Structure 1
Amino acid sequence: MPRRSKRHDANEPKDETAPAKPRAAVYAPGLKAGFRATAQRVQDMHHAIADKTFGVLQKVPVVSLPARVVQGAHDAITDGVYAAVRAGGHAALSVAGAAEAMSLDPARRVGPSEQAVRSALNGVFGDHLAEDGSPLAADLDFHLDGAPLELDGPVVEGLQPNVLIFIHGLACDERSWFRRSTSGSVSEGSYGERLAAERPVSALYVRYNTGMPVEHNARRLGERIEALLAAAPQVRDLAIVGHSMGGLVARSACDLAVQDGASWLRAVSVLMCLGTPHRGAPLERLGHLASMALNLSKVTRPLAQVANARSRGIKDLRHGLRGQGAALSVPVRLLAARLADDDASPASAMMSALLGDGLVMPSSAADGDLRGDVQREELRGIGHMGLLNDARVYEIVRRWWDETRPALVTGAAPRG
């Protein structure tokens, strides 16, 4: 074969292949930002305590002038020390970041344990990660076996006319639906797997950045459902199941679809919310009150800044969707839970009143103000995370799915 000349022919197509992007560290930048912020908060608290002490001394006439001199020297020295600490930490983490980038395999798949860490980081700092362009920030999409679902792939082509969409809660990912059941079994499978084995339905799972505002995720969900329906015209019916925050995202998406006149909402036959804090979650309210209390004192104000750094997604749980969308245009099914067993004992009554399901109170999950085609049920003796895989919950989900089937898309008599 003749060798090609190195001269470039003007009529020859140019090689448009983009140069490979340099590998970027994933965790080191986040650690670096966290280290800087922590060092700054510690420095702020140090100064607040010192200012309080020197402020008292400067009110004493005899030692007022020496106290000012000493404070000036103290501030200069401590600022230098903290600057050195930040510089040293920055340098060390920069080296660690370079090592991390060199060791990363671009083609590797993130394992379950590492993904759990990433999901937790998204829940607590996800909005900050997204603002910084961190690769740790998740983008809302359908996922299958830990990877984004390709809408032009064979899985979408093979979807049933009936599709069940599962949306996880705060600091979780789609794997949360596959957790060990409350009975201790791992062989029972997820709700989606079980229902697909008994009914003509396909199950899809959403992963998203739970630290982003609920409204942001709701808009992204609507966009992805619209794209799914365009890619899979055989899909005619959607049932959505949201756990905890996932129910807020799904309900908000339906509200926005009504406002925007989005066509995808016509395909939704039912929205099921499991332990969703429609009226807010008490832990976030306590977090907000704690931040306000810490902000009252100059000494503790740096701690308030740390507390206020929690994500917008978490802050959105303070009030839930209280006052928004009093009526939905789709059938809504709400499941509330209580940790206490139904034994009518005073201890159980107190536990139910104080803890609910451990994170969400039944009154919030049931949202008595929501109108329209709404049904509410309550389970006892189950916690918030137990709602993700429990035989009683599955029976309710399956019944709700059966009861809301349009005859046009059922396609076959249910089995099982």
Structure 2
Amino acid sequence: MRSDELRDAGALTGTALGELAQLARGVHTALADRLFTLAGKPAEPIRMLHDGIAAIAYASTEVGVKVLPAAVGLVAGAVQDPTAESVHDTARGRFALGALNGFWGDRVAERQPALAPQLRMRLNNGPMRGVPANLAHDADESVTGRLVFFAHGLCETDLCWSFAAEKRWGDRSVTYGSKLRDDDGWTPFYLNYNTGVHISANARELADQLEELVALWPVPVTEIALVGHSLGGLVARSAAHQADELGHRWVKQLRHIVGLGTPHLGAPLERFANWGTHRLARLPETRPIAVWLNRRSVGIKDLRYGALLEADWFDIDPDELLQDRVTPATLIPGVAYSMASATLSREPEGLFAHDLLVQHSSAHGIGKVRSIPFDVARTHHLGGRKHHFDLLADATVYAKLREWLAGADGAGRSSEDTDATRRRNRRTRRTRRAG
């Protein structure tokens, strides 16, 4: 780890331990207040003694757990070799930071930025790059004008696409991207980013980087495909929507958006967390737990109903007991949208029609209040004891992915045919917002 990463790691550890101490103190204080109130005046002397001892004990504990890790981080950073490898450039480091930032990424980006992943990409098995010009420089004679970008889900990293690869393919280096490269001549890119910040923010950064990358790519770009697992599918849809609004040129080459286990209509676990924190906040004894749970990242809160755009969260308290207020992102003309889901049940219906995290109906955009008009012919269901991460490496999913990317279904229209439609859509959306 670099010195700034050690420093921020110490500070973050201290903050996390301090918040746990505050949680314990809050629950203890509320329980004690209730018990002493029930005991009445006879217990007042004991209460005064208890409150004094508890205040000293908790205050010293909070100071200790906050200061000691931060001090250790500062000292370790001061003596660290300045040429040390960044934690972001190691597989284990990215795995740990991916999980951490999924839960607290917005706060980490604000307070301990050395530990917050920036949106970067790598080409095949090359190094992670944060600047599109460097990605273009990595290109060799094997690259093509067919570019496919893989966006991971919440708490994941660019390495998630190798999940269970050895079990599925017999080679841990094999991914959907490498197979598409070998079978059909696609050039794969793998994204790594902070899933704890807003989906719309990650998507805007992706859209801007793609605009620069396509302009610098050494061969003419003829096709672009965005493939996202879980939250990554929402980032892909949002990036395309925002790029289209901004008039980015790369959208003209965009042909496919694929969501694998993507909660297009939201995730029930986040809705339950939102409901649960409101119930916990009603009692003094459980209110500190609600406060602690509400510190989960805005990236997680965006998953409540699948918030794609800044308008879906701007000037809204994310801890309200919210109903679905998400603005449906326009499906871009000329782009084929394809969706896959996994379920514990063999059939895509019933109590177990989910993959432990995402419901089948949400992955396919089918809702009671709001639906997304995806083409049913471009959907796939992986059923029978299948979980969320089975979608990352599965032979039948790959076969469908290859089939989808090979078929046009409207995506093969020329850019000239869709330019006028895009301009009309942008004018319509601007008029609606103004009204």
TM-score (norm 1): 0.83
Cα distance, 1:408 vs. partner?
8.4
On the 8 A contact 1:23/1:104 being kept in 2, the answer is no
Determine the structure 1 residue equivalent to 2:425.
none
Determine the structure 2 residue equivalent to 1:332.
337
* In 1, Cα distance between equivalents of 2:21 and 2:10: 16
Determine the structure 1 residue equivalent to 2:22.
40
Please state if 1:255 is matched with 2:231.
Answer: no
* In 2, Cα distance between equivalents of 1:23 and 1:201: 36
More deviation, 150-159/169-178: 150-159
Determine the structure 2 residue equivalent to 1:108.
85
Please state if 1:380 is matched with 2:361.
Answer: no
Cα distance, 1:230 vs. partner?
2.3
* In 2, Cα distance between equivalents of 1:278 and 1:388: 18
Determine the structure 2 residue equivalent to 1:9.
none
Determine the structure 1 residue equivalent to 2:352.
354
Matches within 5 A, 1:6-405: 25-58=7-40, 64=41, 67-101=43-77, 102-103=79-80, 106-110=83-87, 111-144=90-123, 145=126, 147-148=128-129, 150-153=131-134, 154-156=137-139, 159-181=143-165, 183=168, 185-186=170-171, 189-232=174-217, 234-321=220-307, 323-325=327-329, 327-329=331-333, 330-341=335-346, 353-368=351-366, 369-371=371-373, 375-381=378-384, 382-404=386-408
Paired-residue identity, %:
31
Q: What amino acid is aligned across from residue 377 of structure 1 in structure 2? A: H
Cα distance, 1:273 vs. partner?
0.7
CA deviations over 1:30-71 (Å, ceiling 9, x no partner): 10110111111111111111111122233xxxxx2x544543
> Structure 1: 5+ residue runs without aligned partners?
1-19, 59-63, 343-347, 410-416
On the 8 A contact 2:118/2:194 being kept in 1, the answer is yes
Q: What amino acid is aligned across from residue 70 of structure 2 in structure 1? A: S
Flag the structure with larger Rg.
1
Cα distance, 1:200 vs. partner?
2.3
Where is the helix percentage greater, Structure 1 or Structure 2? 2
SS in 2 for 1:238: strand
CA deviations over 1:99-126 (Å, ceiling 9, x no partner): 4312455441543223211110010110
Determine the structure 2 residue equivalent to 1:414.
none
RMSD, aligned α-carbons: 2.7
SS in 2 for 1:210: coil
Q: What amino acid is aligned across from residue 355 of structure 2 in structure 1? A: D
SS in 2 for 1:94: helix
* In 2, Cα distance between equivalents of 1:41 and 1:22: 29
Cα distance, 1:88 vs. partner?
2.2
SS in 1 for 2:340: strand
On the 8 A contact 1:278/1:365 being kept in 2, the answer is yes
Tell me: CA distance 1:112–1:188, structure 2 relative to 1, closer, same or farther (3 Å): closer
* In 2, Cα distance between equivalents of 1:150 and 1:215: 20
